[in-house]
Amino acid sequence: MKRLFKTYLEKPELAGLILLVLLIVLFQVRSHGVFLNADNLRGILGILPEAGLVAIGVTILMISGEFDLSVGSVFALMPMSMAVLMVHGWPFPLALLAGLLVAAAIGFINGYVTIRFAIPSFITTLGMLFMARSLTVVVSGGFPPLLPADLPNWLFTSFVGPGNMFRMSFLWFVAVAVLTSLMLSRTNFGNWIKATGGFLPAAASMGIPTARVKIVCFMLCSVLSGFAGMLQVLRLGSPLPSIGEGLELQAVAAAVIGGASLTGGIGTVMGGIIGTTLIRVIDNGLVLSHVDANWFKFAIGFLTIFAVVANAWMRKRAKAIKMEG
């Protein structure tokens, strides 16, 4: 049992990975081989980075012991700010920078308010969910602005790779995934994030600047969400103010399915990615297997509850082990 506990702590994404492989096999059989063909994979991989980047941010924030419900709104606000600035003649790089700054500022406010007033981030970011969504509609003036024609799509959304299998966005996604993964496992800052979420009093008593660590995680989460929103807008070709609705809960579901603990300290970037992939695979696989697509949300909901129940059970076991001796 100790072994199981340890495996779970070191590789909390393992259960999700096994489930993912099983589902891929199941869908491949049920769809008579359509699921894994090049066209379908291209479709899945084309939109995976958008939800995946958000999930990475949410997962890291959850490991630090906090929570962000505003990611879906930031997902819409960041590209909308960019579009409005570009309509006013700003060049793309400047608008991109401004958009990322807007996202970072929202992350900072989320973190600062949560820590300064010692309130649950669940509430802070729930408020921000509404405020950022409202701002998105307000700055757009009610009509989505027209995007200029000369956007650097080659850098973000063009198809590349063998058989044009990936979009450029996938490469950004992989780069961010590798960098954040290394940050979490190989740097002292990653150690601080895990310690802060794992047991706050111990982290604080060892001199870790826990407030700063959390605020940085909030900001990273917001910036990644905003960046992901921009990828979606470039793919769709229009900054709709409604994009990203419900994304926050999907991202939390992805993190939890990937093994992140709601109480912090446990989780991996890979887990968040596996969780997101699982959600995308279910979405796509249900359609291909001729199952009523309305079962999609049921499946995600069921998986989330299942994952948290498993989580809670493991935690109880962990406590039992701690009481020994």
Interacting residues with another protein (CB under 8 A): 2, 5-6, 9, 186-192, 194-195, 198-199, 201-208, 265-266, 318, 321-322, 324-325
Q: CB 259 → another protein: shortest distance, Å? A: 12
Q: Which is nearer to another protein, 199 or 296 (CB)?
A: 199
Q: CB 86 → another protein: shortest distance, Å? A: 33
Rounded to 5 degrees, φ, ψ at 207 are 85, 15
Q: Which two tokens stand for residue 179?
A: 């960098």
- Residue 245 three-state SS: coil
Pick from 91, 60, 54: nearest CA to 76: 54
Pick from 2, 9, 23, 4: nearest CA to 274: 23
Angle among Cα 111, 103, 183 to the nearest 5 degrees reads: 70
Pick from 13, 219, 27: nearest CA to 106: 219
Q: CB 221 → another protein: shortest distance, Å? A: 18
d(CA 196, CA 214): 8
Q: Which is nearer to another protein, 141 or 316 (CB)?
A: 316
Q: CB 120 → another protein: shortest distance, Å? A: 21
Q: Which two tokens stand for residue 136?
A: 């998105």
Q: CB 46 → another protein: shortest distance, Å? A: 34
DSSP 240: -
d(CA 112, CA 117): 8
Q: Which is nearer to another protein, 189 or 296 (CB)?
A: 189
d(CA 317, CA 261): 14
Q: CB 255 → another protein: shortest distance, Å? A: 16
Q: Which is nearer to another protein, 266 or 279 (CB)?
A: 266
Rounded to 5 degrees, φ, ψ at 233 are -65, -40
Q: Which is nearer to another protein, 2 or 25 (CB)?
A: 2
Q: Are 244 and 76 in contact (CB under 8 A)?
A: yes
Q: CB 276 → another protein: shortest distance, Å? A: 23
Pick from 314, 3, 11: nearest CA to 185: 11
Q: Are 256 and 304 in contact (CB under 8 A)?
A: yes
Q: Which is nearer to another protein, 16 or 190 (CB)?
A: 190
167: region left, alpha or beta (phi > 0 left; psi from -120 to 50 alpha): beta
Q: CB 101 → another protein: shortest distance, Å? A: 20
Pick from 257, 225, 276, 234: nearest CA to 75: 225
Q: Which is nearer to another protein, 213 or 300 (CB)?
A: 213
Q: CB 194 → another protein: shortest distance, Å? A: 6
Q: Which is nearer to another protein, 164 or 263 (CB)?
A: 263
